[in-house]
Every structure is written in structure tokens, then in C-alpha cells.
Amino acid sequence: MRDRLGREIDYLRVSVTDRCNLRCLYCLPPEGVRPKDHEEILRYEEIVHLVKVAAGLGIRRVRLTGGEPLVRAGLTQLVAELAAIPGLSDLSLTTNGTLLAPLAEELKRAGLKRVNISLDTLRPERFRAITRCGTFSDAWAGIEAALAAGLHPVKINTVAMAGVNDDELADLAELTRRFPLHVRFIEVMPLGADLGRSEARVLPMATARAAVEKVGRLEPAWVTGGGPARAWRFPGAPGTVGFIGALTESFCKRCNRLRLTADGKLKPCLASDVEVDVKRLLRRGASADELKEALRRALELKPARHHLENYAKHARVMCQIGG
């Protein structure tokens, strides 16, 4: 599929829940947000049906997200059903890792190919401060389990924040020398609960890269499913380092994705409140042609670029979008 600007759209991010077991300071307020009622959330069979239709139009990659997707029961069965859809070449998962350890091998057997795991610090006390309720050892156990299960490449998503973890970026990058991990530094995106603090925490990717390069020269690299990240490697390292600068190094011209929220809305852009309601269509038994038309309408509504730099308030916070 191509949008009106000629960008090839072959990637669908599917949020399976708006609930999360953490309260990361750049995503949620301490008390969280009111979760959607059970009936408001797409059923697994509805997700599978829509993905089959999307695959018929050219969607080749699907990523499961949340909230935290592993808090939803029965996720392994969804993975198995999605992995069996003809035309899909990649099925991945984004998780905070704290619930992953006992499920990693099961998910791999079901057909999951790879994972992205959020990790913003290597210091247990700082991990607790950033997540407000999480335990570092649980997240690290998830990373180890993903490596052992063969969910490669295992990517580590690190939100680089001024005054919060900017003194650890080199240490996090050093993980790529010790393990086959792919650490990607990401600028804070103002889609959380506190826009003012988000703005103060933005650390430009040029600054993040300079911090990493203090511990070694970087050379160009490539990693499966690299997405918007520009990948680099310390010479001889088994892993890679990437940088994603949504604010200072916009990648909108290369955007290849649509998002499906847990409550059944297609979002053409992460940073836009424009949505196409597909749950309504699914629940009234709409035909495949009607669902295809909804997907095409989402493509037509996809903007040329985001406007995150305006720090405007949005109808949803990050955990309600699917990231």
C-alpha cells in the first residue's frame, strides 16, 4: 500500500491493551489513566480478522504493543493465529520486559520472531524511580530470556532524558559490546501526562550520540527491522547502537506504518488525534471490502509530518496509542 505521498505502508502496530503494570514518568501520571472497559477493547478474533484483511492489501509486518501487551491473558494464542496469516513476514512485540521471562520460549514457539524491550537505566534504584513501581531484576530477566529463546534481534528501547538518565547513555551502549543486544536511544516524545516536564527532558540525539562516542568509535551497521533508527556499531561488537530523534531528526518521510489502538481505532500518525473507527465496522459484521476501504481512508489521512514540536495536548497519552 502507498499513501498519498507515495510512502510504502507495510507495517501495522497493534495495541492489544491500554493497561500497563508500570507507570513510567514519560508515559503515565502516577495514578495511571482510566483503562477501557473490557467490551471497549477489540477481541482477539477481531484483531486477527482485521490483520488478515490488511495483509491482503500489503501489510507485511505486525508489532504487538500495549500499554504492556503481556498483561493481557492469552497473548500466546493471538501470536499463533497471527503468525499463521499468509503474507506476514514479521511478527514482533514491544514490552517492558518485566513479565517476559516465563513467556519468552512459549511466544517463540507460537511464532513470535523478535522483541523490543524498554530499559531506560541499569541502576535498580533509578529504574524504580523512572517506572514508579518496577523492579530492574524482572526487566533484566526478561532480556536474558529473550536472548535464550532466540527472539533475535533483541532490541533495547531507551528513552534518553536530560537530567534523568543522560549520565548512563555510554553504559547502556556498552551492553552492545557484551551481548547481541541492539540499543536504540529515543528522544522524549510529548505524548505523556506532563508536557512541560517532557519538554524539559528532551535530549537531542546529537547530544546522545556524542555521549556514546566518548567510549568508542561508531561505524555504520544494519539490523533487521531497523525502522526509524539509524544503526551504528562499535567495531567488533555483537550488537548495535541506534538513535531515533522524532523531534530533532524527523523520520516522517520514511514512515511506513499505521497503528491500531486497543479500542479499535486506526491511527494514521502517532502524534495526531485523527482516527478511523474500525471496531464499529467489525462489530456490525462489515465485509472485507468495507474494512479495506477503512484502511485506505487511514492512508489518505496520513499527514506529511508530525507536529510534536508544538507540545500540544492530545486526546490520548502514549499507553493509549500503542507507541
Segment among 23-32, 132-141, 258-267 with least mean pLDDT? 23-32
pTM (two decimals): 0.93
CATH class of this structure's domain 11-320: alpha beta
* pLDDT number for residue 303: 85
| pLDDT in the model for residue 319 | 64
Highest-scoring range by mean pLDDT, 29-43, 146-160, 268-282: 146-160
Please give the share of the chain, as a percent, with pLDDT higher than 90.
Answer: 75
Please name the residue that has the C-alpha cell 503481556: 70
User: What value does the mean pLDDT of the chain take?
Assistant: 91
pLDDT recorded at residue 313 = 58
For residue 276, what pLDDT is reported?
A: 96
Work out the pLDDT band at 254, boundaries 50, 70, 90.
confident
**193 pLDDT more than 60:** no
How many CA within 13 A on the CB side of residue 254?
A: 11
CA pair distance 23, 32, nearest whole angstrom? 7
Does 157 have pLDDT greater than 50?
A: yes
pLDDT confidence band for 26 (50 / 70 / 90):
confident
Cα–Cα distance measured from residue 112 to residue 92, given in angstroms and rounded to the nearest whole number: 6
- Answer yes or no: is pLDDT of 50 > 70: yes
pLDDT for 278: 98
pLDDT, tens digit, 9 for 90 and up, residues 80-114: 999 999 999 999 999 999 999 999 999 999 999 99
Q: What is the pLDDT of residue 172?
A: 98
* pLDDT surpassing 60 at residue 194: no
Interior CA angle at 278 toward 274 and 282, to 5°?
Answer: 170
Query: What is the per-residue pLDDT for 248?
Result: 72
Which three cell numbers, joined as nine digits, stand for 136? 530492574
Q: State the pLDDT confidence band at 153, using cuts at 50, 70 and 90.
A: very high
Q: Which residues contact 170 (CB under 8 A, 6 or more apart)?
A: 211, 212, 214, 215
Q: Is the pLDDT of residue 159 over 80?
A: yes
pLDDT at 202 over 50: yes
The predicted model gives 29-38 an average pLDDT of: 83
- pLDDT at res. 32: 75
- Residue 166 — φ and ψ, nearest 5°? -65, -15
Range in 116-130, 205-219, 224-238 the model is least confident about: 224-238
Contact in structure between 266 and 298 (CB atoms under 8 Å)? yes
Tens digit of pLDDT for each residue in 257-304?
999 999 999 999 877 888 999 999 999 999 999 999 999 999 999 888
State the pLDDT at residue 195: 45
